[in-house]
Chain A
């Protein structure tokens, strides 16, 4: 990306004796996965453009433990959670935004009873807020003639009943939004949840991501929009399995907005 990103760590805020408006929880995928790093960068571009005073934890951030919990390792999850909580509480963090619905879910729902209570937002919710408050505005001509279909991440949609924020944000791109037959509450999983991202699937006659991508392709889209780094990987692989990578692209909601700025 040509534009230099302005990213400050909590440590730097602390040194200046300041408190940021929000903490951007980057998550492991957003920090290390080549595809997801682009999503982190796109989101920061939005934050910079809207002049949001945000911080990241940088090397003080550690895995939320979500994936360990879904895999059954409650020990590892709670160890991770308590270490993170110590840091978050130490910095007196109030508000957290993340691009990963899995981090979103666990920080929002599973951290409080371990001593970490924060207001947690998914990045699509925060972008929606920025637009509503007039802090972020753009023309949105870039995707005017495109058909976009949004794939609901399980841990944002069904798990936390947030279906509207990503759709409302996507509308601002002026693209035409098309819905898959199975969407919102009845959306099919991309196949990555429950720690499946890190293992081979069990024996079956199809991969889940290929089936879900078929749902998306039936809407005849130019773009499949996602709101989760894992869904993004799964749908991208699905597009390849259907040999549609030339005509259909898979982009995060944050990327679509960042590109529209």
Chain B
């Protein structure tokens, strides 16, 4: 009978991690629906970027207030997780505070976890106020209505509850240690929870044990639940920020990729020896589709970008089109890409892993042409993203589809392009007059 808690704990752990693994598999499958791109280049720059941008939070602090609060929650998350390790060992083995023999080191650790927990609580409350009371512009844009807003608050509530449970658990433990309760080794420092412990004065050992156990269990079950919430939430960034910054763009921001499929065709067109009437060879593959109208036309990095986006809206708040009231919002481009990808994924789940065309696509059903054409390709969104997401690359891929597959550019742009074709300039001037400026 005495092993029942251990068994229940192991079951919860296996179930929690198992379900999470299932979601990770689904996530990787969906990301791999994207086209393959070779990003094995520049590995040392990539490692440096990951360490600087994701681990070092270098882009977060560009906005000092949000940056500082985020660093606190981030450090809290990472450091307090050392405690989760102890909780897991205790849960499996039925021990209590198994790391206690570390002595002063242990006291220091528990003490700093507590201080961090308090700082996290303060930050989370401030984050909540920014979203719900101060109503910062970027949190109340149209794309944030409904689930995205709920999701943002839900994460804050979960973090708040987890931190409070952690402190409550420690407070009860501290009080039990004071009462020399058996099994409760005297260990740890409780700079914050000692104040909560004051409220527990006069409670019996039995009641305190109930409080301590209940807080301990809900805390660890809450963490497992939170882990599984990630896949359904924008909070996935806590994991994907690392690969995403690693695979982020290492070239100058202004450099757009040259489509290799186009290069081949252009070379053929310019080759004087090519026979323009030659029949295609029998084994010729179907010509590649230019640009993107749906998520499968994007690269896997662009799809990972979509899952990494935590909807902070820094991109949108820096976007010149958005600032001047246009419909384009780079954040919405990323959110739409993720939503469509999830829809495709669910479609595959329902059809034994095969995608059955559903008459929908990313273009038009999610992202409108008005949004696509409002972009100035200024790279402000790319620069603003704290985790190296590139919304601009998706916009360009969709323009490529519109122009090269559908000939659906705005009329003025068609005029501009036919000028280039006819006389080598975006305006209708004669190429022979190119040097007239010298003598004017």
Q: Which residues of A line the B interface, CB within 8 A?
A: 5, 7, 9, 26, 28, 30-33, 37, 40-41, 44, 56-59, 61-63, 65, 67-76, 78-80, 82-83, 105, 108-110, 113-114, 154-155, 158-161, 185-186, 188-189, 191-196, 198-208, 211-212
In contact, A155 and B425 (Cβ under 8 angstroms): no
Task: Return chain A residues, CB-CB under 8 Å to B253.
Answer: 158-160
A196 to B433, CA, bound (A): 25
Residues of B315-340 at the interface with A, using a CB-CB cut-off of 8 Å, are 318, 320-321, 323-328
12 contacts across the A-B interface (CB closer than 8 A)? A26-B437, A28-B424, A71-B409, A76-B420, A80-B424, A110-B255, A158-B253, A161-B252, A198-B412, A201-B326, A202-B321, A208-B321
Contact string, B386-413, partner A, CB cutoff 8 A, digits 1/0?
0000000000101111111000011011
Cβ-defined contact, A61 with B434, below 8 A: yes
List the 5 closest pairs (A to B, CB-CB), nearest first: A159-B254, A72-B399, A194-B377, A62-B424, A205-B325
> Per-position contact with A for B350-381: 1 when CB-CB < 8 Å, else 0?
00000000000000000000100111111110
Asked if B259 CB lies within 8 Å of chain A CBs, one says yes
What residues of B have a CB within 8 angstroms of the CB of A109 in the complex?
251-252, 254-255
Q: List B contacts of A108 (CB < 8 A).
A: 252
Q: Are A76 and B421 touching (Cβ within 8 A)?
A: yes
Confirm or deny: B265 has a beta carbon within 8 angstroms of a beta carbon on chain A.
yes
User: A119–B409 Cα gap in the complex (Å)?
Assistant: 33
Contact B412 A74 (CB under 8 A): no
User: With A72-B404, A188-B323, A205-B325 given, can you name 13 additional A-B contacts, CB distance below 8 Å?
Assistant: A32-B427, A59-B434, A63-B424, A78-B263, A78-B266, A82-B267, A158-B378, A158-B383, A194-B378, A200-B412, A202-B327, A202-B373, A208-B320
Confirm or deny: B11 has a beta carbon within 8 angstroms of a beta carbon on chain A.
no
Q: Which chain A residue shows the least CB distance to B403?
A: A72
Do the beta carbons of B376 and A154 come within 8 Å of each other? yes
- Residue from the set A37, A199, A203 with the largest chain B CB neighbour count within 10 Å: A199
Asked whether, in the complex, the Cβ of A192 is within 8 Å of the Cβ of B376, the reply is yes
B432 interface contact, C-beta 8 A? yes
Task: Please name all residues of chain B whose beta carbon is closer than 8 Å to the beta carbon of A78 when the two chains form the complex.
Answer: 258-259, 262-263, 266
In the complex, A63 Cα to B265 Cα: how many Å?
20
Question: Which among B398, B402, B437 is the interface contact of A31 at CB below 8 angstroms?
Answer: B437
In the complex, which of the residues A62, A113, A185, A196 contacts B376, with contact meaning CB atoms closer than 8 Å? A196
Q: Is the CB of A75 within 8 A of B326?
A: no
Question: Nearest CB to that of A36 among chain B residues?
Answer: B437
Contact A207 B324 (CB under 8 A): yes
Instruction: Please report B residues at the A interface, Cβ cutoff 8 Å.
Output: 251-256, 258-259, 262-263, 265-267, 269-270, 290-291, 318, 320-321, 323-328, 370, 373-380, 382-383, 396, 398-404, 409-410, 412-413, 415-417, 420-421, 424-427, 429, 431-440
* Given A71-B409, A79-B266, A200-B412, A205-B377 contact (CB < 8 Å): no
A233 to B291, CA, bound (A): 31
CB-nearest residue of chain A to B384: A186
A26 CB, min distance to chain B CBs, angstroms? 7
Bound Cα distance A175, B266 (Å): 49
CA distance A5 to B290 in the complex (A): 46
On whether the beta carbons of B327 and A63 are closer than 8 Å, the reply is no
- Are A82 and B370 in contact (CB-based, < 8 A)? no
Known A68-B417, A110-B256, A211-B320; contact A191-B262, beta-carbon cutoff 8 A: no
B408 (CB) vs chain A CBs: closest residue: A72
Assess whether A199 is in contact with B373, with CB atoms less than 8 Å apart: yes
Chain B: minimal CB distance from A141 (Å):
29
Residues of B within 8 A of A199 (CB): 373, 410, 412-413, 416
Q: Which of B374, B382, B437 interacts with A37 by CB under 8 Å? A: B437
- Expressed in whole angstroms, the Cα–Cα distance for A57 and B438 within the complex equals 13
Contact A202 B431 (CB under 8 A): no
Would B417 and A154 count as touching, CB distance under 8 A?
no
Please determine whether A202 and B326 come into contact, CB atoms closer than 8 angstroms: yes
In contact, B374 and A202 (Cβ under 8 angstroms): yes
Decide if B427 touches A205 in the complex (CB within 8 Å).
no
Q: How far is the CB of A6 from chain B (nearest CB, A)?
A: 9
Q: What residue in chain A is nearest B431 (Cβ atoms)?
A: A59
Whether the Cβ atoms of A9 and B435 lie closer than 8 Å is yes
Select from chain A the residue with minimum beta-carbon distance to B253: A159
Measured CB to CB, the nearest residue on chain A to B396 is A72
Q: Give CA–CA (A185, B380) in the complex, Å.
A: 8
CA distance A159 to B379 in the complex (A): 7
> How far is A65 from B417 in the complex, measured between Cα atoms in Å?
9
- The CA of A230 and the CA of B55, in the complex, are separated in Å by 39
Q: Is the beta-carbon distance between B376 and A191 smaller than 8 angstroms?
A: yes
- CB of A37 within 8 A of CB of B440, answer yes
Task: Report A-chain residues with C-beta under 8 Å of the C-beta of B269.
Answer: 79
A69 CA to B266 CA, complexed, in Å: 14
Complex: chain B residue closest to A111, CB-CB? B258
A196 to chain B, nearest CB (A): 5
